[in-house]
Amino acid sequence: ILNVEQSPQSLHVQEGDSTNFTCSFPSSNFYALHWYRWETAKSPEALFVMTLNGDEKKKGRISATLNTKEGYSYLYIKGSQPEDSATYLCASYNAGNNRKLIWGLGTSLAVNP
Amino acid sequence: KAGVTQTPRYLIKTRGQQVTLSCSPISGHRSVSWYQQTPGQGLQFLFEYFSETQRNKGNFPGRFSGRQFSNSRSEMNVSTLELGDSALYLCASSLGTADDPTNYGYTFGSGTRLTVV
């Protein structure tokens, strides 16, 4: 794949549910994978920067895994809370002549109380 | 520690005019990137600057330009504004270096909401 793709596009869950979304990115010349949370009326906030195949990072109830060989990353939220409602963006940085972060369109998460 | 500051927050311009947006990065951050965000389009990369040099440029027409000053503050300029330029323009800074560009997350400003009428 040449672009960064995120699925699902949107998700509605109940408070307390655990959920996960996927980010697919080009596996060739991979350099780094970023995850951000973007709440309405705020700026995107960095969650994780991941570089190593098999890497797993955690921040509170949120964790992420990385598979650079097959080009995907999962973001998990355990026990979703209403304050987790946001758009979750991933971005891939691949080395090469035109190095830049390529962004997915995001997964919009709504957590119902 | 001050965050990334973008000015102005809101701007209304007329077609054909030009506009300059400003971004002050976090102190110590030398990498500054600019993005355009429109509904349904996601974040579209405009440019990236590092130590006053444009390191990368997105697929935008030449009406979009930018620069970075010695204190790492950056400006972007859009000339001959079109209705389609109405968008949220975000600036982000990073500790990333020329050799290690994105091992660090980006810190975003609150953005400038540009409306072209």
Flag if A43 and B90 touch (Cβ within 8 Å): yes
A101 touches chain B (CB under 8 A): yes
- Token pair listed for A94: 């691949």
Confidence of residue A66 (pLDDT cuts 50, 70, 90): very high
Residues 36-95 of A with CB under 8 A from B: 36, 42-49, 51, 89, 91, 93
Cα A14 → chain centroid: 20
Tokens of B77: 């300029």
H or E, element range at B87: strand B87-94
The shortest C-alpha distance from A42 to chain B (Å) reads 7
R_g of chain B computed on alpha carbons: 14
The alpha-carbon gap from A84 to the nearest alpha carbon of chain B, in Å, equals 19
A37-51, A65-79, A93-107: least confident range: A93-107
**Whole-number pLDDT of residue B104:** 79
A75-94 pLDDT per residue, tens: 999 999 999 999 999 999 88
Q: Could you give the CA distance from residue B117 to residue B104 in angstroms, rounded to a whole number?
A: 38
Tell me the percentage of chain A whose pLDDT exceeds 70: 95
Q: Give me the count of residues in chain A.
A: 113
More confident residue, A32 or A2: A32
DSSP conformation letters of A19-47: EEEEEE---TTEEEEEEEEE-TTS--EEE
Both structure tokens of B43 = 């974040």
Cβ of residue B105 closer than 8 Å to a chain A Cβ: yes
Q: Which amino acid is at B48?
A: E
Q: Which pLDDT does position B112 carry in this prediction? A: 97
CB A47 within 8 A of CB A35: yes
Low-confidence ranges of chain B (pLDDT < 50): none
pLDDT of residue B102: 63
Q: Is A5 on the interface with B (CB under 8 A)?
A: no
Question: By the CB < 8 Å criterion, does B106 face chain A?
Answer: yes
Return d(Cα A45, Cα A103) in angstroms, integer.
Answer: 14
Mean pLDDT of chain A: 92
